[in-house]
Amino acid sequence: MSESSSQSVLFDRTPSFSFEFFPPKTQEGAASLLDTVVKLQEFHPSFVSVTYGAGGGSRELTRAVVCDMQSRGIPTVPHLTCVGHTEAEIEDILHHYIAAGARAIMVLRGDPPRNGVYNPGQDAFRHAADLVRFIRAWEDRQRLPQRLTLGVAGFAEGHPDSRNRLREMDFLKAKLDEGADYICTQLFFDNHAFFDFRDRCRLMDIHVPIIAGIMPVTSISSMNRMAELSAGTNFPARLLKAMLRAGGDKQTIERLGINYASNQCGELLDADVDGIHFYTLNRSKATLEIYHNLGFNNYYDVDRLRMLNNIYKS
């Protein structure tokens, strides 16, 4: 682990466990997210993160959710994308998050909005690495008492835009060289892809924590949506066979999907993963069941795992 990240509150206890939420658009959605947060908070996550949309309205919602979580004392990592932003806008957002008490940011390029007019010529930043560099320089100018912890995206199975997987690793390395502290991966269902990615990172002299992004399949429609959103993610035959075995029974599909993700997590923990990040879709059920399948009934069980890990390592 790099010095800066090992000092970060996000990684003071490893493996880290974290949950990702998206900003809800309705009152019901907000109430449901709050219920989810209360249930998952029982396990004292290392942090929660809040995604950032492509449009102005949803971007405001991210800010609101981040402030709300922070005010509840939950360490919150806002996602920040550079698509469609000027330097002044980014500075304004950074001031806002610092004032809300956020001490970490997930720095991304984002994707151009699907609907509406988008003029890339107006963007101040082309790639996530440019935004990482800008935030580090901004921090110096602000003389912040504590360096922000910056996360960046990693794609164990490759980013869909990349035609050259070797160059892609150079571009990933550039984000770390500009000052990022950790990598969180796109969701994946094949642990070998993650282990290979981790090995490739180490070969590139990347030694920051690499957090594994996990999203359980809970329905066939959610699986189809995941395939769309996480373009490029491989759905292994083993997972598809399990789904077929369920024969369309919704409860069985959910149970098999949760079991599959639980096995993934168990194997990752055995292989000394730095952290697991759950893509929750603002629901607690699947994540809580994975916790129970892993033998975690409460926060103390999670901490026991960390203690045992440290004993094995020393």
Ligand X SMILES: Cc1cc2nc3c(=O)[nH]c(=O)nc-3n(C[C@H](O)[C@H](O)[C@H](O)COP(=O)(O)OP(=O)(O)OC[C@H]3O[C@@H](n4cnc5c(N)ncnc54)[C@H](O)[C@@H]3O)c2cc1C
Q: Is 81 near ligand X (CB under 6 A)?
A: yes
Verify whether residue 20 is a known catalytic residue: yes
> How many CB atoms are closer than 10 A to CB 278?
25
Residue from 14, 16, 18, 51 in contact with ligand X (CB under 6 A): 51
Nearest one of 181, 146, 180 to 1, comparing CA atoms: 181
**Residue 48 DSSP SS3:** strand
**Backbone phi and psi for residue 288, each to the nearest 5 degrees, phi listed first:** -65, -40
Cβ-based burial of 124 (10 A; exposed 0-12, middle 13-18, buried ≥19): middle
* Identity of residue 82: C
Q: Is 213 near ligand X (CB under 6 A)?
A: yes
Q: Is 63 near ligand X (CB under 6 A)?
A: no
Q: Is 262 near ligand X (CB under 6 A)?
A: no
* Identity of residue 214: I
Q: Helix 128-142 to helix 87-100 angle, to the nearest 10 degrees?
A: 60
Using the minimum distance from each CB to ligand X, give the nearer residue, 184 or 302: 184
Q: Least separation, in Å, of the C-beta of 213 and ligand X?
A: 5
Q: State the catalytic residue, choosing from 20, 157, 178, 254.
A: 20
Q: Is 215 near ligand X (CB under 6 A)?
A: no
Residue from 118, 138, 171, 299 in contact with ligand X (CB under 6 A): 171
Q: Least separation, in Å, of the C-beta of 188 and ligand X?
A: 10
Stretch that binds ligand X, among 126-134, 216-224, 235-243, 285-293 (CB under 6 A): 126-134
- Cβ atoms of 11 and 209 closer than 8 Å: yes
* Identity of residue 2: S
Residues marked as catalytic: 20
Binding-site ranges for ligand X (CB under 6 A): 51-52, 54, 79, 81, 108-111, 127-129, 153, 159, 161-162, 168, 171, 175, 184, 186, 213
